[in-house]
Chains A and B, each alone.
Chain A
Amino acid sequence: MKPVLKLIKVEKNDITAALTAFFRKLLEEKLAGAVLVPQRTEGSVIMTLVKNPERVTCVDPVSPVMISNSATIVSELTSTPVVEKIAVLLRPCEARALVELVKLKQASAEQLIVFGIDCHGAFKVTDFADFAGEGRTDTAAAFLDMVKEGKEDERLRAGCSLCVRPEPTAVDIALRLFGEKLENGITAEARTEKGKELLEKMNLPDGSESEEREKVLGEILKKRKEALEAIDISDFPSLISNCIRCYNCRAVCPICYCKECLFDDSSKLGYDPARYLSLAGKKGALRMPVDTLLFHLTRLNHMVSSCVACGMCEAACPTDIPLAKIYASIGDEVGKLLDYEPGRSLEEEIPLATFKENELETVAD
């Protein structure tokens, strides 16, 4: 399909106002029964499911804060069939996680119109609170100014500063920020028939390709790919030595969807006092809690091939284990091995559910 470009007009440099008006109009014109959008409120940016157009007040996917990967919210919203169309606005890593969840049969895209937006990244929640607390009310505009000056890197969380896919893939409509003249408007690109139909009904002026886009993206990617390549996790046990096996990383992970996890029931792995003592006897000394290495390596094995590198695991870690770095690095390597990019396309099969006859010849030696 030839991409269709439309322009969402921005007035007085207010991007949030333009997006707010756009999503409000979706509801008013009944092009969607509900919208799931990030709104700036209560000192943060939170996901809101809105049916009343008047309650679309401040759509803000730009402010540098991301409290969760919303793909899990979409998964919950589509766990049983719904009649209404829901328009959802996601960051690229959230949209990728949604693609993986659809393929893992944990979400349905049928009733969704998925909007993705170019992403400049997010800060740690506490850093964002500081950023907003420094007298900024429009944190989205303030952040875009910071990006213009090239200063966002200083505060980006690890996952974002290593992100090599800051533009949305596999969405119905992609909203563009990189290299755009945002004072004129945000370019919306329809990538599917569903998206095209919707944009045409919105009566928007035509948009155009930005010449700057490739250049801006190229610069971001070059820097980050170098950083990704340079990651060294060869001292793995030390990197995870602060693990207290709280499973927060698993809880916030959009890909870790299993209703039952082998780590939940300790009896499955055989921990009773006698076993602790026998292990301690065998090894001479036992690190408590046990099996942090087993946990991290197993979790990596089970989900890294679908990891979208959103970095929520690191954000949720109470002891600051550099999980974003670990997952970005191993995920990149595993992706190359299997020629698979999580969230790239709905058509590609989940790598652990498929195979090719002639591949990985060196694995079985």
Chain B
Amino acid sequence: MSEEFEPKIIAFLCNWCTYAGADLAGTSRIQYPPNIRIIRLMCSGALDPVYVIRALTEGADGVLIGGCHPGDCHYLNGNYKARRRVGILKTILDKSNLGSERVTLRWISASEGQKFADTVKEFVDKIKKLGPNPLKERMV
């Protein structure tokens, strides 16, 4: 296959900040790779790790989680809790060698359209270097 590997990335974005940031990137006509599939959540703190794991076991090459900057959470502290959950998740994936580097948590506000586009570009490049998720081939 000479075709370049195009990763599939699932993005869980919070309704108040990062999703609005993605929206701003769009309305501002900022270009970014089309590799991501966005799922909107009310809060990054509402993301159960099971969804991230499921995405990875079913073959997503990366998972991007976006929330409000610390101190800016619409629900006061959901993003701080998300950070703990993602910390645990990444520790587990790291110890078990299942690709903790395929999960990224970023704080992106509603006004940071450019940062959103840059994050996606950067993450897609990183995953392209890592190659396809080996779990894609595993029989679940």
In the bound complex, do residue A233 and residue B95 qualify as a contact, i.e. CB atoms below 8 Å apart?
yes
Q: How many residue pairs at the A-B interface have CB separations less than 8 Å?
A: 112
- Chief secondary structure at chain A's binding surface: helix
Closest-CB distance, A216 to chain B (whole angstroms): 31
In the bound complex, do residue B105 and residue A305 qualify as a contact, i.e. CB atoms below 8 Å apart?
no
In the bound complex, do residue B88 and residue A334 qualify as a contact, i.e. CB atoms below 8 Å apart?
yes
**A contact residues around B139 at 8 Å (CB):** 283, 285-287
- Say which size band chain B's interface belongs to: 35 or more
In the bound complex, do residue A355 and residue B80 qualify as a contact, i.e. CB atoms below 8 Å apart?
yes
What separation, in Å, do the CA atoms of A330 and B91 have in the docked complex?
8
In the bound complex, do residue A294 and residue B106 qualify as a contact, i.e. CB atoms below 8 Å apart?
no
In the bound complex, do residue B105 and residue A365 qualify as a contact, i.e. CB atoms below 8 Å apart?
yes
A147 at the interface (CB under 8 A from B): no
**B contact residues around A351 at 8 Å (CB):** 84
**B contact residues around A234 at 8 Å (CB):** 95-97
Closest-CB distance, B44 to chain A (whole angstroms): 9
What separation, in Å, do the CA atoms of A305 and B92 have in the docked complex?
11
* A358 and chain B: residue at smallest CB distance: B70
* B71 and chain A: residue at smallest CB distance: A357
In the bound complex, do residue A236 and residue B107 qualify as a contact, i.e. CB atoms below 8 Å apart?
no
Interface size on A, residues (CB 8 A): 41
Residue among A235, A297, A298, A365 facing the most chain B CB atoms (10 A cut-off): A297
**A contact residues around B53 at 8 Å (CB):** 293-294, 297-298, 301
A82 at the interface (CB under 8 A from B): no
In the bound complex, do residue A298 and residue B49 qualify as a contact, i.e. CB atoms below 8 Å apart?
yes
A364 at the interface (CB under 8 A from B): yes
**A contact residues around B58 at 8 Å (CB):** 279, 282
In the bound complex, do residue B54 and residue A294 qualify as a contact, i.e. CB atoms below 8 Å apart?
yes
A76 at the interface (CB under 8 A from B): no
Take A233-B96, A290-B140 as given contacts and tell me if A298 and B84 are in contact as well, using a CB distance cutoff of 8 Å: no
A-B contact pairs, 13 of them (CB 8 A): A283-B136, A293-B57, A293-B135, A298-B50, A301-B53, A305-B88, A330-B92, A334-B92, A337-B87, A356-B80, A360-B87, A363-B86, A364-B105
Listed from nearest, the 4 A-B pairs whose CB atoms lie closest are A236-B96, A355-B80, A287-B139, A234-B97
Given A298-B49, A357-B80, 4 other A-B residues pairs in contact with their CB atoms under 8 A: A282-B59, A297-B93, A301-B49, A334-B91
